[in-house]
Structure 1
C-alpha cells in the first residue's frame, strides 16, 4: 500500500505557523523569520514532507502582496459597510502571513490599466475580484492574469475555477417567504443590479417564493445597492403600486433609504408595509424600526476568499465555496 502523502497543513500545524508561512519557508521565499524557518524545517524532517512542485514554483516567485479589486469607480465604495467588513475578513487572514493587501477600484480605464500593469509585471502574487458585472472587463483581465484569481461572488456569464459566494438565492427566497408568512399578499421588491450575480440571485429567490405562494411577482423596481438608490426605487414602487403591503429590498443600504421614503409618505412599518433587507450590516439593528434582514457572513466571505487564494498559492486546487444565509427577524416585519 502506498504511503499517505503528508500535507502542508500538517507541517504548518506541527511547526506552529500559518499555512502561508510554512509554504514560504519551504520554498525559501523572502520575509520569513529565522525562527519560523527553523520550526518548519524541523516539521518537514519529522513528518517526511515532500513539497509540491507547483507550489514551489509559485512560492519562489512571490513578491509579498495580493490585490482586492472591486468593480467600481467611486472611492466611497471602500467605505461601504459591506466592503469594509469584507476587508476586515481578508485582513484577519493575511495578518498571519507576510502578504500585504492592496485595494483597487478597477472600473475606469485608468483603474483597469493600472491593475493590468500590476498583473502583467507580477507586482502581486494573486488577485481577489468582487462585484463583477456581466461582460465586465475585469473578467478578461482575470483570464489573462499570470497569477491566481479568486472571485468574491459568482459572476454572470461564466463559472470561474475559484470563488466564494453567499447563498443569495436561498436568502432572497427566505426573505420573501417570511413576508408571505406574515400575511402580506401585495409584495414588491427592490432588486440590486441585475447585471451582477448577487442581484440576479436574490431576485430569483423572490420569484421562487411568490411562485410557490401563487402571488403576483410583477412589482419590481431595480436599485443599485446604495441608500439613495433604495430611496428612489421605493418612491417609484409607491407611485406605481400604492397598495403594496410588503417589500423585499436586496440590500440593507437600500432598505435604509426605503424606510426613509415610507416614513415621509406616512406609511407605518410594519403595519402598512413590512420591509425585509439583505446583508445584516450593523446599521440594520439601529434603523427605525430595527430591520428584519437576511444575514450573510460578510467577514467570513472575506476570510474564505483569502484562505482560498492562499491555498491556490500553495499549489492546491480548492473547490468553490457557498456560505449559508439566514433570516434575522426584527421589528420591520
Structure 2
C-alpha cells in the first residue's frame, strides 16, 4: 500500500516576515514595490530566498483588478497569421516590451464570426488589461467593444477616424507607396500596374492611393488587380490577371513582398524575365524580399519597432500616463535591389 503524498506547504508572507524579523506589512511593501529601508529590504530578499516564497500573482492581481496580460489581436485568417513575416516581427517586438514590464502577451486570432463572438466576450470580461490591434477594419465589432469598455488599446495602422480616441503606431503607407512607385517609374517603365491587396484595410487602401498619386494622369484603373490578402498565391493570381489585360506591361508594384514573390513566380511561368521584361517592386522588406530571385526592391517596414512602440503605448495607458494624441509614424526607407 502506498501512502498519499502530501503537497509541500506554500511559503507565505508570514513565513518571510518571521525569517526576516520584520512585520508582515514591511514584507508586503517590498513585494508591491513600496519603500522600506535598505537594511530591511536586504533582510527580506534574503528571507524570500531562504523560505522559497513565491508571490501569489493571481491573488494580487485580483485585488488590483489587473490581469498582467495584454491581448495581441490579429484580424486576419489563420493562414496569413502563420505566413506573414511582418506579423511575426510585430509580435516579437511587442512581446519584448511587454516581457520587460512583466506582462504576458495573449495572442488572439480572429478568423471567423465565432472567433469574433468569443473574443468579444473575452475582452469584455477583464481577462486582459489592454490590447494591440493588427489589421483592423472600420465598424469591426471587436473594436467597438474595446472602445465601449475604454480598454487601453493601440492600433497598428489607423483604420478609421470613427475610433480617433484609440491611438495608433504605424507608417505612412501613402507616401511610401508613392515613393517606391516613382522610383520604379524612374527606371523608364511605361506601363505600370499594381497588385492591390487588402483594400478593405487602411494599409491596402493607402498603398493604392500612393500608387495612384505617383502615376497622376498616367493612372489607369485597368492596370490595378485587386486581391483580398497579402499572400503569395494572391500575388500570382493578380499578376496573371494583369498579364491577361495588358500583355505589354513592363512594371508592377505589389502591395507586399509576399504578393510580389507570387507575381515574380507568375511572370517566370509566363516566360517573362525580371527585371528585363518587367520590373517588380514590393512593400515590407520582409524575409520574402531576399527569398525571391532576383532579390526584391521594396519599402522597409520596421515591424519589430512598430510592435515594441505599440506595446509601450499600451503599457503607458495602463499606468495612467499620457500618450501621443493621434499616433506615431515610423520611417520607411526604400531598399533598392535587383528586381527593378
| TM-score class normalised by the smaller sequence | 0.7 to 0.9
- Confirm whether residue 163 of structure 1 aligns to residue 163 of structure 2: no
- Determine the structure 2 residue equivalent to 1:45: none
- Report the Cα offset of residue 114 of structure 1: 2.1
- Confirm whether residue 246 of structure 1 aligns to residue 251 of structure 2: yes
TM normalised by structure 1 equals 0.80
CA distance in 2: counterparts of 1:177 and 1:83, whole angstroms: 27
- Determine the structure 1 residue equivalent to 2:188: 183
TM normalised by structure 2 equals 0.78
- Determine the structure 2 residue equivalent to 1:327: 334
1:221-271, CA deviations, whole angstroms, 9 ceiling, x for partnerless residues?
A: 112211100100000000001111100001001001000000011111111
Is 1:69–1:128's contact at 8 Å kept on the other side of the alignment?
yes
- Determine the structure 2 residue equivalent to 1:54: none
Q: Which stretch of structure 1 is more off in the superposition, 63-72 or 234-243? A: 63-72
- Confirm whether residue 64 of structure 1 aligns to residue 68 of structure 2: yes
- Report the Cα offset of residue 82 of structure 1: 1.2
CA distance in 2: counterparts of 1:157 and 1:146, whole angstroms: 16
Q: How has the CA–CA distance of structure 1 residues 280 and 41 changed in structure 2, closer, same or farther, with 3 Å as cutoff?
A: farther
Is 2:152–2:318's contact at 8 Å kept on the other side of the alignment?
yes
2:144 maps to which of 137, 140, 148: 140
The alignment covers a number of residue pairs equal to 284
- Determine the structure 2 residue equivalent to 1:230: 235
Alignment of 1:39-58 (within 5 A): none
- Report the Cα offset of residue 80 of structure 1: 2.1
1:308-327, CA deviations, whole angstroms, 9 ceiling, x for partnerless residues?
A: 10111111231211112111
RMSD: 2.2
- Confirm whether residue 120 of structure 1 aligns to residue 124 of structure 2: yes
SS at the partner of 2:107? Answer: strand
- Determine the structure 2 residue equivalent to 1:304: 309
Q: Unaligned stretches of 5+ in structure 1? A: 1-31, 43-58
Q: Unaligned stretches of 5+ in structure 2? A: 1-27, 39-62
Which 4+ runs in 1 deviate beyond 6 A? 39-42
1:146-198, CA deviations, whole angstroms, 9 ceiling, x for partnerless residues?
A: 42121111003534331111111111001100111111111100112111000
Q: How has the CA–CA distance of structure 1 residues 289 and 222 changed in structure 2, closer, same or farther, with 3 Å as cutoff?
A: same
Larger radius of gyration: 2
- Report the Cα offset of residue 75 of structure 1: 5.0
- Determine the structure 2 residue equivalent to 1:4: none
Is 1:176–1:248's contact at 8 Å kept on the other side of the alignment?
yes
SS at the partner of 1:37? Answer: coil
